[in-house]
């Protein structure tokens, strides 16, 4: 068995035994499951992408996406907070943080002792990042952060935030910078968690920075490097979100297939009717297409080949396919899909998250068109 199969088996076993049985409960409680968060750290999942010298597993994009896919098959909430802890919540801290910050925050985050969050989106918009208004003003000895971030995954439970700020408004996106802000910094205000449609075991809130002072060493990268840092992660973010989509589509398909074999109408299992068979055939085909696109993309990335078009296509296709799969699942389950006792409702609600994270479908189509030279 190769390392990809071994990883898939290990995560799948944990998901089948420890996550799927509690996924609906987690969703109902609408609370960040701290115990589970710590257990995933114990399995070394948060450090999976980081180098071995730092205590990680040096997983490439293919291995990382396998992990994300399997977790999302169990619970999109769990997959979402894990992905945040592995990638955007901690990546810049690891790469550009001072050795002291890494010891105080990154290492405990890998052990599941601190929770990470990433703040880009503002009430004025998420897609148009050029409109970011949060500012970082430099004084002689520190940086003062002022602004308003919203839709912050892990916001209510996070110990630290990686925050996109404008350092020089006259330069537009060339004046962007990322800053590290610990939650206990005076001036950091975390609002109440949102009441939301899906990924309900992931807590989300606004985070407000009211003249929050941080040391100058809390800037990640040189002045004006924010847009370049973000762009350097877009392929990874998109293909990861595609993998989350694939996991959820598989969960919807598996549940639908089981139900189609069990549920009888007019004296036969509903899976014997062509109308239901066609739904399942389409779901299976789109799942296979998503899988091929995602792992073709990760293998390119793992060989160092640029893959912005492929990652955008994979995210666009797989997230829309997951929405269609969850929609069909709610039809196959009939009225039982409407009850939160069955997972079909959770799948349907959770898919909507996939439409926004990692770029909306509309914006991905714009990017794909640009890659086509239009
Ligand atoms: C569950 C969840 C978790 C999230 N977690 C985080 C997080 O941790 N950190 C964070 O910073 N953000 C987070 N977000 C926010 C997410 O990144 C944004 O929702 C996303 O970027 C879209 O921004 P918006 O919602 O403001 O939509 P808008 O940008 O206002 O877009 C609204 C609509 O207009 C369309 N549109 C916009 N511009 C164009 C254009 N040029 N051409 C065509 N169509 C266009 C969009 O596709 C969309 O349909 C999260 C969101 C959700 C739902």
Q: For residues 374 and 368, give the distance between their C-alpha atoms in angstroms, rounded to a whole number.
A: 9
Q: Angle, to 10 degrees, between the axis of helix 20-29 and the axis of helix 343-354?
A: 70
Q: Which of 356, 342, 347 is nearest to 327 (CA)?
A: 347
The CB of 124 under 6 Å from ligand 1? The reply is no
Arithmetic mean of pLDDT, 141-153: 96
Distance 355 CA to ligand 1 centre (A): 9
Residue-range domains of the chain with CATH: 3-110 (1.10.540.10), 116-224 (2.40.110.10), 231-371 (1.20.140.10)
Q: To which H or E segment does residue 118 belong?
A: strand 116-119
Is the C-beta atom of 362 inside 6 A of ligand 1? yes
Q: How far is CA 256 from the centre of its chain?
A: 25
Give the N- to C-terminal CA distance of the chain in Å, as an integer: 44
Ligand 1 centroid to Cα of residue 315, in Å, is 14
**Nearest Cα residue to atom 11 of ligand 1:** 120
The CB of 224 under 6 Å from ligand 1? The reply is no
Confidence of residue 352 (pLDDT cuts 50, 70, 90): very high
Q: Extract the tokens encoding 212.
A: 């929050």
Residue 57 pLDDT grade (very low, low, confident, very high; cuts 50, 70, 90): very high
Q: Is 204 in the pocket of ligand 1 (CB under 6 A)?
A: yes
Q: How distant, in Å, are the alpha carbons of 190, 272, 312, 360 from that of 238?
A: 27, 38, 6, 10
Predicted local confidence at residue 143, as pLDDT: 97
CA distances from 289 to 3, 286, 295, 339 (A): 23, 5, 10, 30
Looking at residue 125, the DSSP 8-state letter turns out to be B
Q: Is the pLDDT of residue 126 over 90?
A: no
Mean pLDDT (the chain) is 97
pLDDT at 157 over 90: yes
Q: Collect all residues with Cβ–Cβ distance below 8 Å to 307 and sequence separation of at least 6.
A: 235, 239, 297, 300, 301
* Cα dihedral value 163, 166, 171, 175, nearest 10: -40
The answer to whether the predicted template modeling score (pTM) of the entire model surpasses 0.95 is: yes
Contacts of 89 (CB under 8 A, 6+ apart): 109, 115, 116, 117, 118, 154, 158, 162
8 A C-beta contact, residue 359 and residue 307: no
Mean pLDDT in residue range 279-298: 98
C-alpha to C-alpha distance for 309 and 305, rounded to whole angstroms: 11
316 lines ligand 1 (CB under 6 A): no
Question: Contact 248/72 with Cβ under 8 angstroms?
Answer: yes
Query: Which pLDDT score is estimated for 130?
Result: 86
Instruction: Tell which one of 124, 151, 163 to mutate to probe ligand 1, the residue whose CB is within 8 A of the most ligand atoms.
Output: 151
Q: Is 127 in the pocket of ligand 1 (CB under 6 A)?
A: yes
């Amino acid at each position: 068995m190769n390392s990809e199969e071994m990883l898939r088996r290990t995560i799948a076993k944990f998901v089948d035994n420890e996550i799927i049985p509690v996924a609906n409960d987690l969703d109902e409680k609408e609370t960040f499951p701290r115990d589970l968060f710590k257990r995933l750290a114990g399995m070394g999942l948060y450090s999976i992408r980081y180098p071995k010298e730092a205590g990680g597993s040096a997983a490439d994009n293919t291995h990382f996406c396998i992990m994300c896919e399997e977790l999302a098959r169990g619970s999109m909430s769990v997959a979402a907070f894990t992905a945040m802890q592995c990638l955007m919540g901690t990546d810049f801290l690891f790469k550009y943080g001072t050795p002291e910050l890494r010891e105080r925050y990154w290492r405990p985050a890998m052990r599941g002792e601190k929770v990470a969050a990433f703040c880009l989106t503002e009430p004025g918009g998420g897609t148009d990042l050029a409109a970011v208004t949060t500012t970082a003003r430099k004084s002689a000895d520190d940086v003062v952060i002022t602004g308003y971030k919203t839709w912050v995954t892990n916001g209510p439970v996070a110990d630290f935030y990686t925050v996109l700020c404008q350092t020089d408004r006259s330069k537009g996106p060339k004046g962007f910078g990322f800053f590290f802000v610990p939650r206990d910094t005076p001036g950091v205000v975390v609002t109440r968690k949102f009441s939301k449609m899906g990924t309900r075991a992931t807590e989300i809130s606004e985070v407000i920075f009211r003249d929050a002072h941080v040391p100058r060493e809390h800037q990640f990268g040189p002045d004006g490097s924010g847009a370049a840092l973000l762009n350097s992660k877009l392929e990874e973010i998109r293909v990861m979100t595609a993998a989350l989509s694939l996991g959820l589509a598989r969960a919807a398909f598996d549940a639908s297939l089981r139900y189609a074999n069990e549920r009888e109408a007019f004296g036969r299992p509903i899976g014997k009717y062509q109308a239901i068979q066609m739904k399942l055939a389409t779901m299976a085909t789109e799942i296979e297409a998503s899988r091929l696109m995602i792992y073709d993309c990760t293998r390119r990335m793992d060989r160092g080949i640029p893959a912005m078009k492929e990652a955008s296509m994979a995210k666009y296709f797989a997230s829309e396919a997951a929405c269609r799969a969850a929609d069909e699942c709610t039809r196959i389950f009939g009225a039982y899909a409407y009850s939160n006792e069955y997972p079909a409702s959770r799948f349907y609600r959770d898919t909507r998250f996939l439409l926004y994270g990692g770029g909306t479908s509309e914006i991905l189509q714009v990017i794909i068109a640009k890659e086509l030279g239009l």
